[in-house]
Amino acid sequence: MRVLTVNAGSSSLKLRLLDDDELVAAHDVPRWHGEPEPLREFQAEHAAEAIGHRVVHGGRAVRGPTPLDDRVVEQLAALTELAPLHQSRALQGIRAARDFAPDTPSVACVDTAFHRTLPEAARTYALPKEWNERWSLRRYGFHGLSHGYAVRRGAELAGNAGGRVLSCHLGAGSSLAAVRGGRCVDTTMGFTPEEGLVMATRSGSVDPGLLCWLLTSRGVSPEELRTTLQERSGLAGLAGGSGDLRDVLTAREDCDLDAELAYDVHAHALLRHAGAMIAAMGGLDLLVFTGGIGEHQPRLRADLADGLGFLGVEVDPERNAATTSDADISSRTARVRAVVVESREDVEISRQTREALSA
């Protein structure tokens, strides 16, 4: 089956045509504002038999790859405020595709589905039971399409050594997933994609008491707080400029103290959360790096490996420095394998689309 995969980011659009898992054609729109023309032109040229859409948040209603109809679109739209940077963009792609290709079956592939196996203790917030039930408050987790592919591909690269896998999706948005026996048992993002690691412009986890203090004692408005946590924090907030880790590292090499602190805070949060994920699955057999930072920043990979060295993680300096795509970067003496996996959400979307339509 020829599947068009639609991956709408916060500012970009990635279109891929796959025949089973084989890439046939690709088109990227770096600055996409929701216009339907790129999707219409791509479909007119390639005539996909089905369309798969990456959607960040599925909530409790959409728990796996789901054929799209009006009801499902409404359920996804109701979650927009929980993932405002991405949900609305995915919906623009869905509506555009349904308008110009109404007879082509479309499927929503949700990032949250990968984390539906979280144990109740891992997914439940210690809030009043009635709140959790009334508003469906729970840890949902994100980047599931990336984690799902990375875990499978990583195990292949490591010779199927992946009983307990720490999947590190590191990019502008970052999260970790603890996967034991193929099932996600813990993850760093929560009810929204704001929790967990320090990211490019997002703060990650912050003391809720501090946030309440800003709201009640310092006159910060809810909207200002939301915007600041999502768009003006993280590496950008600490370094005082770009949230791109490449820029932070360049400034750090020029002895910029703010950039040095930004990198150290980012790396420390990664190590701290990695330790928690490893404890949650009772050890570590395989460490997987994916995403823009995970694939292209050997310095950060080496630093995390050093921090986890007491567990038997050790990367080969030459392999690590040379790797930007699928490869084993472990040293020969490492007890825990470490691999880099090129992020291929398109493969996962295509696979899930075919499964949903053949069910």
pLDDT digits (tens, 9 = 90+) for 194-215: 999 999 999 999 999 999 999 9
Is residue 175's pLDDT more than 80? yes
Confidence grade of residue 164 (pLDDT, cut at 50, 70, 90): very high
Angstrom distance (rounded) from CA 282 to CA 139? 20
Angstrom distance (rounded) from CA 185 to CA 119? 6
User: Which residues have CB under 8 Å from 97's CB, separation 6+?
Assistant: 4, 6, 36, 39, 43, 51, 53, 104, 106
Structure tokens at 218: 């310092």
Helix axes 70-77, 87-100, angle to 10 degrees: 160
Q: Which pLDDT value is given to residue 344?
A: 96
CB 267 within 8 A of CB 215: no
Confidence grade of residue 134 (pLDDT, cut at 50, 70, 90): very high
Confidence grade of residue 359 (pLDDT, cut at 50, 70, 90): confident
Angstrom distance (rounded) from CA 163 to CA 166? 10
* Domain ranges, ordered by start, for the chain: 2-114, 152-340
- In this predicted model, what pLDDT tens digit does every residue of 137-157 receive, in sequence order? 999 999 999 999 999 999 999
Q: Average pLDDT in the 44-62 region?
A: 95
Q: What does DSSP assign to residue 138? A: S
Pairing of strands 286-290, 337-340: parallel
Residue range 2-114 in CATH 3.30.1220.10? no
| Contacts by residues 71-77 (CB-CB < 8 Å, ≥ 24 positions apart) | 72/108, 73/98, 76/108
Is residue 302's pLDDT more than 90? yes
Q: Average pLDDT in the 296-307 region?
A: 98
Is residue 280's pLDDT more than 80? yes
Q: What percentage of the chain reaches a pLDDT higher than 70? A: 99
Closest CA to 234 of 276, 206, 212: 206
Question: Around Cβ 306, how many Cβ atoms within 10 Å?
Answer: 14
The alpha carbon of residue 192 and the mean position of all alpha carbons in its chain are separated, in whole angstroms, by 12
Task: List the Cα angle 151/148/286 in 5-degree steps.
Answer: 15
Angstrom distance (rounded) from CA 356 to CA 359? 5
Is residue 162's pLDDT more than 70? no
Structure tokens at 5: 């995969």
Is residue 18's pLDDT more than 80? yes
Is residue 189's pLDDT more than 70? yes
Is residue 98's pLDDT more than 70? yes
CB crowding 227-249: b at 16 or more within 10 Å, else e: eebbeebbbbbbbebbbbbeebb
**Distance between the two ends of the chain, CA-based, in angstroms?**
14
CB crowding 196-221: b at 16 or more within 10 Å, else e: bbbbbbbbbbeeeeeeeebeeeeeee
Average pLDDT, the chain: 95
* Alpha-carbon separation of residue 342 from 40, 173, 231, 289, 324 (angstroms): 28, 16, 26, 9, 8
**Topology annotation, domain 152-340:** Nucleotidyltransferase; domain 5 (3.30.420)
Question: Around Cβ 5, how many Cβ atoms within 10 Å?
Answer: 29
Q: Is it true that 2-114 and 152-340 share their CATH fold?
A: yes
Is residue 232's pLDDT more than 70? yes
User: Which residues have CB under 8 Å from 37's CB, separation 6+?
Assistant: none
Tell me the three state secondary structure of residue 7. Answer: strand
**Amino acid at residue number 254:** D
Strand order in the sheet with 175-180: 183-187, 175-180, 164-169, 286-290, 337-340, 327-328
Residues with a known catalytic role: 111
Strand ranges, E, within 213-343: 286-290, 327-328, 337-340
Strand ranges, E, within 38-105: 50-55, 66-67
Q: What is the pTM of this model?
A: 0.95
- In this predicted model, what pLDDT tens digit does every residue of 237-267 receive, in sequence order? 999 988 999 999 999 999 999 999 999 999 9
Confidence grade of residue 10 (pLDDT, cut at 50, 70, 90): confident
- The Cα diameter of the chain in Å comes to 58
